[in-house]
Chains A and B, each alone.
Chain A
Amino acid sequence: MLSKKIIELNNVTKRYNDVTAVDNINLYIRENEFITLLGPSGCGKTTTLRMIGGFEEPDEGDILFDGVRINDVPPYKRNINTVFQRYALFTHLNVYENIAFGLRIKKVPKDEMDRRIKRMLKLVELEGFETRHVDSLSGGQQQRVAIARALVNEPKVLLLDEPLGALDLKLRKEMQIELMNMQKNVGITFIYVTHDQEEALTMSDTVVVMNKGIIQQVGTPVDIYNEPENRFVADFIGESNIIEGIMHEDYLVEFSGRKFKCLDKGFQQNEPVDVVIRPEDIDITEPDKGLIQGVVTSVVFKGVHYEMMVEGGGFEYMIQSTDMQPVGVNVGLTFEPEDIHVMKRGS
């Protein structure tokens, strides 16, 4: 059974002077969900998060928390806490006092405060750091103090604004796993903002892809990756071959000069469409066994696989495969009907 909606955004719009940062979006977030707002910089994801946190007021539309309108409720009256992009720790306080900040304001008794802070420090693996000065900590440690400082208040919703952006790749991967585990352990709704599509796919229950202030697609990571709704999503999430084609009838699409069976339907007859095939879904065979014939134009070694460009059928296909074919060789390309994703032509 699906849990109840904790946050709802209804027709929310936010403008800065003449620039529309968030354009009439509708979105709901369920309890205990790990939801990620994903998009390039300037897509409105951070503005959306700041409106939920109470740092910006929407120009139009309503934000509901537990069914109650909270548009003009100040941040300090919301049961929501935030982990800021650059941590925003209080440099005049030590680790313990940073985490205690919210609890002192709520006048939590001393022994309970001690207990909760101890538990938090254990959760973020910073036991014994209580009296350390926050300036003396590494980026990853400061990040974990920021998370502990927010989580210790036991908010219903935790907002995270690109919290791992400043960390190096290895630490980022570790923190991703840690954050996912924390979210499962504490049972709090996480709303996570990132421009890193891999991070979004790894961590989230639900991904919201945004561009130019508009929600492009909402879905599970698998849905978003396998069934992109438009060219932007297909292009932004992972590598893709996006080929222009024509949908002749249900389950039959034409591109690269021939017709292919596919699993898509519901288009008009002969409707122009965009076709997506992921590079890892294409196999290389003998030229005469391929659905499309082509010639290898470049090969790049990527570690796990080779990335080859094959020109054929009026398009340059990107293929990721462990079988390397040298440049200049004639090859055939094959793929299954379920590897073909047909999208409406549009923006």
Chain B
Amino acid sequence: MKNRAKFLAYPYLVWMAIFIVIPLFLVLFYSLTKGNIHDPSSLSFSLESYARVFEVNYLKVIWKSFKLAFISTLFCFVLGYPVALIISTVKAKYKSILLMFFLVPIWMNFLLRTYAWMSILSPNGFINRLLSFLGLPTLSIMPGQTAVVLGMIYNFLPFMVLPIYTVLSKIDRSVIEAAMDLGANKIRTFFNVIFPLTVPGIISGITMVFMPAVSTFVISRLLGGNKELLIGNLIEQQFTVQRDWHFGSALSIILMIMILISMAVMSKFESDNDNGGAPTW
């Protein structure tokens, strides 16, 4: 179809070029060079930065980032799916109230929310004071990985709930009735019909949680102290403290490639599920 309003997209194309494509090429350019960034004549082609990424210390950080992001995504899914299911089945008048509960925290500043978790989890925080008041031994989860994961789950859970809820609420009621009509009880109907139909929502939920979780540096710095460095912190440090733009760029490119690979695997999984093959029961 010929679209006469095509020219309306031009400003957006310009925007994309200036703020997405050019910066991306700049990052790629810095990652492939070495020398003083303030003196263009000193720059020369080099794969040194990429070689550094594969040093054991840095690989460990990358591994930990993916591990924590994976754990958080898993918890978000396990907690978020039932919530989405409940919201989609309650009466219409309670639906918006329940959704509100999940949306209101997003309206608050991200940093503020994470600081709040600091005061809850810190050694002299709310939980430990409550525990010592009750005469129980105190916990030392912050700073540490548990605190980081908790922070990620809290911050990113709505991004899991919303896409799953959207897909769930679009499922035609008669499809569920058809499954029951054909002999499927409620559990069967869920696993053989409802769950497979929500796979697209799950995929986008996972994407929306995993991506920010793997690249976060605020949550890990505030709740992980200095000992839980993630790839996001590493990149941040290269640009703010170390002033090594080349290495920072190389780390960013590697992170981007790894996220792209994760997403490719994910969408492969989705299209496999979508080819109408025999269900897994």
Contact = CB atoms under 8 A, between A and B. Distances in A.
Interface in A146-172: 149-150, 153
Nearest to B199: A92
A4 to B, nearest CB: 24
20 contacts: A55-B177, A75-B180, A76-B185, A76-B188, A81-B181, A84-B177, A84-B178, A88-B177, A90-B197, A91-B197, A92-B276, A94-B275, A94-B276, A94-B277, A97-B278, A101-B192, A104-B279, A105-B183, A134-B276, A150-B182
B276 A75 contact: no
Interface of A: 53-55, 74-76, 80-82, 84-86, 88-94, 97, 101-102, 104-106, 131, 133-134, 149-150, 153
A273 B166 CA distance: 58
A104 B281 contact: yes
A55 B249 CA distance: 60
B193 A85 contact: no
A92 B273 contact: yes
Contacts of B39: none
Given A92-B197, A133-B276, A102 B174 contact: no
Nearest to A90: B193
Contacts of B279: 93, 97, 104
Contacts of A105: 182-184, 188
Contacts of B273: 92
B234 to A, nearest CB: 41
Contacts of B178: 82, 84, 88-90, 149
A88 B183 CA distance: 15
B196 interface: yes
Given A76-B181, A76-B183, A106-B183, A86 B276 contact: no
Contacts of B196: 92-93
B179 interface: yes
Contacts of A97: 276-279
B55 interface: no
A92 B182 CA distance: 16
Contacts of A89: 175, 178
A102 B281 CA distance: 13
Nearest to A132: B276
Nearest to A102: B182
B48 interface: no
Interface in B232-281: 273-279, 281
